[in-house]
């Protein structure tokens, strides 16, 4: 997730730079020059395991209004659960408190299961009063056994608030951006439905299995579209309208940027890197963003294994501060050049921790944020910025707490210190104690064992079962409850 600046100086800094992970902008001196990453092994560069052949298949279409302030959507989901289900549960995350505060909303306008219309049951699920709920349930005509194919169709209306966080539009810049902006199937294999409530705090709560995606975004002619996956061509469904299609083999979410962007594409070691900057201007140009993305693709690839996808899309959105991650797609605020190295390293690290290996972001947020901050620290030469001695006593031992805890106990600033910083510090100390080669090999084994899955804290315990020093540090931090 993106970083925000807490209301008080809660984080260690390097030349005034807040470590990436907070929700508002920050100031910095010159970016540090990173040291070479540890040598990568042949095992680290092997292809990732194939995703589950029974993963859901999602066809998703957005028809974006000419003023970019709204869209209508259609979605079909083909799903084979690994346990009996009597309903389908989707999450409407645009209705979470942070999004709703900016005027963003997602309303279900129709639904069917197996071709038969059904009335969705919409519950608040943490949404504020007056907003549509985040919890959408479609009843099944009869319970479906494990392995039975279930097909659902939904229609929805998406309103894009002005200058919103993950979902919004800017009339001044002539652009729109939206992510996790469709009804998201909330199934977790081996567990069931993820119904953690949305919280009134910056930070992700979305949880989803990896699915095969076919995405279509229809806009006025002349608009640029950056999406999730690989661009698969355009068609003209009506005069003056263009449908842009993207496909992805295994992703957990979808992100789209539309409007008056200048877009460049660069090939980086077999990855197509696409960067979009607003035509109204930005602090640094697309080539500078592409340069840093290329550097961090190399460094993180050496540390973690190959980048998991054929494409990477990055959009500069002036309304944002810092950055937000989505599978194959990143949103960045209009940051100065000196600040983008740790920002890019952190958000890009989420392509391994959250995108490739998922987690329940509402229940176990440390599984992606702590590991992404650990990887950022190594890739951006910020290891000295994380120390367990700097974790306040009131937060020590709270690493494994869910988002509801952090929303109720002090908000985003404490969440950053308790999860990003404490988790990264514990992981970095564990790496020092057992040695970089041994530790990094265990992390790569964890990624490989859990690729395309939704991991749980027990999977981290399994990855470090031969490294009790690491497990002791994580237990002391509260990682395992």
Query: Element (H or E) spanning 314, and its range?
Result: strand 311-316
C-alpha–C-alpha distance, residues 354 and 356, integer Å: 6
Q: In what order do the strands lie in the sheet with 57-64?
A: 116-117, 105-113, 150-159, 70-79, 57-64, 211-220, 241-251, 230-238
Q: Each residue of 307-354: pLDDT tens digit?
A: 999 999 999 999 888 899 999 999 999 999 999 999 999 999 999 999
29 CB neighbour count, 10 Å cutoff:
12
Q: What pTM value is reported for the model?
A: 0.91
Query: Element (H or E) spanning 442, and its range?
Result: helix 436-450
Q: For residue 212, which phi and psi values (nearest 5 degrees)?
A: -80, 130
- Cite the beta strand spans of 221-279 per DSSP E: 224-226, 230-238, 241-251, 255-259, 261-268, 271-278
H helix intervals, 157-314: 286-304
Tokens of 246: 């993207």
pLDDT at 46: 83
pLDDT at 19: 35
Which segments in the chain show pLDDT lower than 50? 2, 4-41, 43
pLDDT at 410: 74
* Close Cβ partners of 71 (under 8 Å, ≥ 6 residues apart): 62, 63, 64, 65, 157, 158, 160, 178, 181
pLDDT at 28: 31
Three-state SS annotation for 172-186: CCCEEEEECCCCEEC
* Close Cβ partners of 23 (under 8 Å, ≥ 6 residues apart): 2, 3, 4, 5, 202, 321, 322, 412
pLDDT at 396: 97
The residue among 10, 1, 99, 2 whose CA lies nearest residue 413 is: 10
∠ CA 327-329-330, rounded to 5°: 115
pLDDT at 209: 97
Tokens of 156: 């929805």
pLDDT at 365: 97
C-alpha–C-alpha distance, residues 276 and 3, integer Å: 21
pLDDT at 164: 86
C-alpha–C-alpha distance, residues 90 and 400, integer Å: 25
Q: Each residue of 132-142: pLDDT tens digit?
A: 999 999 999 99
Query: Taking every pair of C-alpha atoms in the chain, what is the biggest distance, in angstroms?
Result: 64
Residue 448 CA, chain-centre distance (Å), reads 19
């Amino acid at each position: 997730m993106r970083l925000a600046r807490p209301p008080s100086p809660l984080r260690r800094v390097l030349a005034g730079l807040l470590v990436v992970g907070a929700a508002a902008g920050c100031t910095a001196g010159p970016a540090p020059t990173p040291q070479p990453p540890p040598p990568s092994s042949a095992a680290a560069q092997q292809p990732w395991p194939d995703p589950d052949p029974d993963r859901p298949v999602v066809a998703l279409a957005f028809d974006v209004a000419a003023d970019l302030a709204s869209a209508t959507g259609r979605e079909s989901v083909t799903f084979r659960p690994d346990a009996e289900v009597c309903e389908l549960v989707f999450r409407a995350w645009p209705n979470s408190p942070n999004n709703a505060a900016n005027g963003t909303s997602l309303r279900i306008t129709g639904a069917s299961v197996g071709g038969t219309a059904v009335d969705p049951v919409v519950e608040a699920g943490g949404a504020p009063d007056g907003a549509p709920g985040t919890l959408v349930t479609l009843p099944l005509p009869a319970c479906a056994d494990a392995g039975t194919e279930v097909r659902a169709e939904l229609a929805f209306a998406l309103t894009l608030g002005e200058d919103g966080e993950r979902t919004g539009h800017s009339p001044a810049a002539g652009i729109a951006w939206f992510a996790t902006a469709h009804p998201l199937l909330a199934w977790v294999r081996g567990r069931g439905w993820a119904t953690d409530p949305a919280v009134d705090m910056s930070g992700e709560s979305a949880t989803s299995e990896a699915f095969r995606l076919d995405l279509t975004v229809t806009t006025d002619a002349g608009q640029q579209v950056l999406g999730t996956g690989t661009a698969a061509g355009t068609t003209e469904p009506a005069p003056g309208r263009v449908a842009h299609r993207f496909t992805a083999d295994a992703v957990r979410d979808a992100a789209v940027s539309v409007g008056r962007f200048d877009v460049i594409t660069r090939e980086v070691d077999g990855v197509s890197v696409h960067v979009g900057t607003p035509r109204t201007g930005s602090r640094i140009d697309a080539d500078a963003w592409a340069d840093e993305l290329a550097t961090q693709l190399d460094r993180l690839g050496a540390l973690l294994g190959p980048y998991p996808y054929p494409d990477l899309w990055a959009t500069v959105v002036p309304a944002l501060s810092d950055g937000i991650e989505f599978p194959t797609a990143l949103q960045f605020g209009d940051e100065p050049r000196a600040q983008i190295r740790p920002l890019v390293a952190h958000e890009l690290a989420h392509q391994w921790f959250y995108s490739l290996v998922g987690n329940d972001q509402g229940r176990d947020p440390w599984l992606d944020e702590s590991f992404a901050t650990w990887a950022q620290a190594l890739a951006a030469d910020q290891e000295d910025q994380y120390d367990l001695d700097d974790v306040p006593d009131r937060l020590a031992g709270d690493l494994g707490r869910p988002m509801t805890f952090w929303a109720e106990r002090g908000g985003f600033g404490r969440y950053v210190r308790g999860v990003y910083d404490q988790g990264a510090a514990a992981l970095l100390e564990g790496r020092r104690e057992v040695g970089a080669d041994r530790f990094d090999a265990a992390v790569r084994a964890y990624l490989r064992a859990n690729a395309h899955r939704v991991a749980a804290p027990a999977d981290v315990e399994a990855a470090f079962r031969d490294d009790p020093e690491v497990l002791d540090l994580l237990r002391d931090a509260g990682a395992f409850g």
